[in-house]
A = this chain, B = another copy of it.
Amino acid sequence: MNTFAPPVQRLVTELSKLPGVGNRTAHRLAFHILRASGDDAAALANAILEVKQKIGLCEVCFNLADEARCRICQDPRRDHSTICVVEEPSDVIPLERTHEFHGVYHVLGGALSPIDGVDPEDLKIAELLTRVEDAAGAVHEVILATNPTTTGEATALHIAGELHQRSPQLVITRLASGLPVGADLEYADEVTLGKALAHRQAV
């Protein structure tokens, strides 16, 4: 149904490609952009173009960066002896939001999933091993913060094996699994509850 002129249709089509944006939301966003000032629309368009031009991956941790190294790797106040390994750059945000972690990151770029054709050499695993080895003992702990899913667990296990083989003195940890804060036992799934029980802690 071509009610609207081609430029509007094109904008709706492009907006619909965004995650979680269906046809109706795309229409709503398009009308917002049509009502917005020319400057606001240009700012959005330029931000999209700029991010693709300027953003690359950090040469150390493979997080997003607009320079050779990302802001976290450049920060001398961070604890460079603790590396937190995550799947995606987007996983860094929730970890930073906790304000509990002061080390540095290593972004794998995904999780091992042979069924989808993701093998160890498709992730930044070799780079992590080299990074730990090159630090010559300066890295004390590697926290494996891949997702608590089948692929995330497999990735963590694989990396733990490789690291342990090369640096037996390295502390290798995994994020705790258990009940989310504020959860209700009645509605907890049995796998999570099982983990919470198995890893119960002394009060």
**A123–B17 CA distance with the chains assembled, in angstroms:** 34
Shortest distance from the beta carbon of A37 to any chain B beta carbon, whole Å = 9
User: A50, A51, A53: which has the most chain B beta carbons within 10 Å?
Assistant: A51
Q: Which residues 17-37 in A have Cβ within 8 Å of B in the complex?
A: 17-20, 25, 27-34, 36
A122 to chain B, nearest CB (A): 15
Each complex incorporates copies of this chain amounting to 2
Answer whether residue A115 sits at the interface, using C-beta atoms and an 8 A cutoff: no
Given A11-B51, A52-B41, A66-B5: A19 and B30 within 8 A (CB)? no
Check: A1 CB closer than 8 A to any chain B CB. Answer: yes
List the B side residues contacting A52 at CB < 8 Å. 33-34, 38, 41-42
